[in-house]
Every structure is written in structure tokens, then in C-alpha cells.
Structure 1
């Protein structure tokens, strides 16, 4: 995905300016920045990357045309700066060619070391040791993915909260119920915050409360 296609949201103080691709959000935010250019005390104008709640720093100088040209010039640089990380695949044991019978099912052989009582328990399971092991691994994998998703989403939500609502009443309590996974308590504690901040928080925190 190109840098300018990054899902983003911009805020003028507690008001949401725009949400969408970074290009759309940046171009919608530029006139707001210009409008406050001569003000002594402008509100904070921030652009957030939705997936991480990181603030995206942009150079707002010049006309709208200058700004857009600068964005377009930056795009390939930013895209090239984040190449995919190569992943070294583990060696796969290739079985001998199979004759007629049950399909291979895409499995690969590995050595597994267990205690005797583990092998005894596996041998009593329907389908035998291999089927039981696959079920156990799949269950553990799904549980781990859910925990990782909740943890990541909670951290992203807290990062946005800290930037946009650290001064709001009930911030500490909202933080506690967020990490406790209490969606009802979280919604109640942010209810007095600016409406657009609430809406964004409730959008990005969806998976923080997934059991």
C-alpha cells in the first residue's frame, strides 16, 4: 500500500476534520491549517494513522498546490523506506511420493518430543496423535492471535487517548477499564469527551474488547 493511501484521521482540537486515505485527509486539513496560520493560539491540528495512532508529521507550508506537489514527491520515498521484512522459511521435510489412498492434506513431518504420559493420552484421542496435536496447536494459535489483537488494539487506543484526551475528566478511569476489557465502562467514562473524539475512540477500540 502506498504511503498516501494509509487510512488516517485529522483533528482540529476535538473536532474531526476528515477521515480516509492520507491524501484525502491531508488535502482536507491544509485549508484548516492555513485558516489558523495568523492566529496566536491555534488549536492543535493533528493527523493520526488509524492503525497505530501515530501522529503523521506533514510540512504544511506554501499553497495547496505546493503542498500537494510535496506530498506526491514524498510518496515514493516513504514507500521505499519501509520495504517488506524478509522472512526465512524453516526447512520443510518432503515425504516420499505417495501412492493411492488418503490425500496429504498439506501437512509436513517434524520431530516431536513428549513424555510417555503425553503419548499415551494422544494415542487415546479420536484420530490418533497427529489429529489431536493439530487440534491442540490450532486452538492455542487462535487463542494467542486473539490475545495479541486485544493487546495491540488496547495500546493503539490508549496512544490516541493520551494525545487527544489526557486532560479530559475521567481519563485515568477510562484507561483502567480499557485495559480491563470493560467496553460498557469505557463508553461511560468517555461519554463527556468531545463527540468526535468519542466516535474515533469507539471505532479504533473495537477489538480491544473482543473476548
Structure 2
């Protein structure tokens, strides 16, 4: 898990906390462990809901769910390198392997170059999908949800703000917070 990302806890449609992972885990363990209310935790970087194993002591939960040191395994875990499978055609593998430092280094360079080529579009893309995921879970049944999603993908901040203005306050404010980079023109 990415300990640098913020996480947000919702109890129903009420936002309880937005904070880094260790703070969120501490809050969940000490204040909400025994609640039976509908509780959702969102990774604000991805917009996905996450579940945590809160069994054991707070120290055990933090060690398991937000480890301080990198896990060992293939790749370079201290650098945050994660091994995953990529499926390419043979000609793509040949092209990648012909570059200095191998296929992985070539892919990393290509991705970094693409991200730097249009930083405004990259920032918008990095905000749009997580916001849409959040909207689907928390606002999918609210009036104007589908139109708000369309406005989000169209980059129409004014329409988006208008469409969510009557939503429950915490849902509206968090959606606006997540969506803000999608509507910015400059860094």
C-alpha cells in the first residue's frame, strides 16, 4: 500500500477523516473498530475503496497494513519497483530489449516521457478516474450523478460544480477536492 497517499473515511455520507494511512488506521482502530454503521475508506489517489485487517493491537495493524520498510521480493522494492506481468507482441519485446538497460528500463523511460510531455493532461487524467470511482460509490444514486461524471470527463468544472451543489455536504466537498486538478489549466 502507498503510505504517501491520503485516505478518507466515510460513515454513511459523513466524512470523518482524510489523512495519511497511519493516521487513518489509528483512527479506525481506536475510534471505529466496533461500529456497525456503513463505513467506507477510500484511497484518494485511486478512488477505490479499501479494507483493512484491524485484528490485533494498533502496533500490529500498523506493521501489517502500513509497513515502514519495503517488502522484499523481486525487483528493487526499496525504490518502489513492483513486478507485474506485461503482455506484448514479439516485435514489441524485440524493440524494448534493443534499448540500453533492457525492457523494464525502456518502459519506465517511455512512461516518464509521456507523463512529462503534457503535464496538464496527465494531472487531469490522474484526477478524473479516482473522482469518477468515488462518485460511482458515494454519489451514484444522487441527482445529476451521471451528468456530473460527463462534466468531469469533459473538463467542465462549472457544470460539475453546479451538478453537485445540492449533494450532501461532505460528499460534495470531497468530490470537489478530488476533481479540482481535473479542472486546473496550469500547475
TM over 0.5: yes
| Residue 68 (structure 1) aligns with | 58
Contact persistence 1:50–1:204 (CA under 8 A): yes
| Residue 71 (structure 2) aligns with | 80
Q: Deviations over 1:99-156 (max 9, x none)?
A: xxxxxxxxxxxxxxxxxxxxxxxxxxxxxxxxxxxxxxxxx98662221221221111
Match of 1:181 among 155, 160, 168: 155
Equivalent position SS for 2:142: coil
CA distance in 2, matches of 1:14, 1:186: 19
Q: May I ask how many residue pairs the two structures share in their alignment?
A: 152
CA distance in 1, matches of 2:142, 2:159: 16
- Residues 89-128 of structure 1 mapped to structure 2, 5 A cutoff: none
Match of 1:53 among 20, 43, 47: 47
Equivalent position SS for 1:34: coil
Contact persistence 1:16–1:197 (CA under 8 A): yes
| Residue 10 (structure 1) aligns with | 9
CA distance in 2, matches of 1:142, 1:5: 21
CA distance in 2, matches of 1:172, 1:204: 17
Tell me whether 1:35 sits opposite 2:9 in the alignment: no
| Residue 210 (structure 1) aligns with | 184
CA distance in 2, matches of 1:175, 1:25: 28
- Residues 13-28 of structure 1 mapped to structure 2, 5 A cutoff: 13-28=12-27
CA distance in 2, matches of 1:6, 1:143: 24
User: TM-score under structure 2 normalisation?
Assistant: 0.68
Equivalent position SS for 1:54: coil
Equivalent position SS for 1:80: coil
Runs of 4+, deviation exceeding 4 Å: 2-5, 140-143
User: TM-score under structure 1 normalisation?
Assistant: 0.61
Q: CA deviation at 1:53?
A: 1.4
| Coordinate RMSD, CA, aligned | 3.0
Name which one, 1 or 2, has greater alpha-carbon Rg: 1
* Gap regions ≥5 residues in structure 2: 83-95, 101-113
Q: Residue 148 and residue 4 in structure 1: after superposition, are their counterparts in 2 closer, same or farther (change >3 A)? A: closer
* Gap regions ≥5 residues in structure 1: 37-41, 92-139
Q: Residue 198 and residue 67 in structure 1: after superposition, are their counterparts in 2 closer, same or farther (change >3 A)? A: farther
Q: CA deviation at 1:185?
A: 0.8
Q: CA deviation at 1:204?
A: 1.3
Match of 1:151 among 109, 112, 125: 125
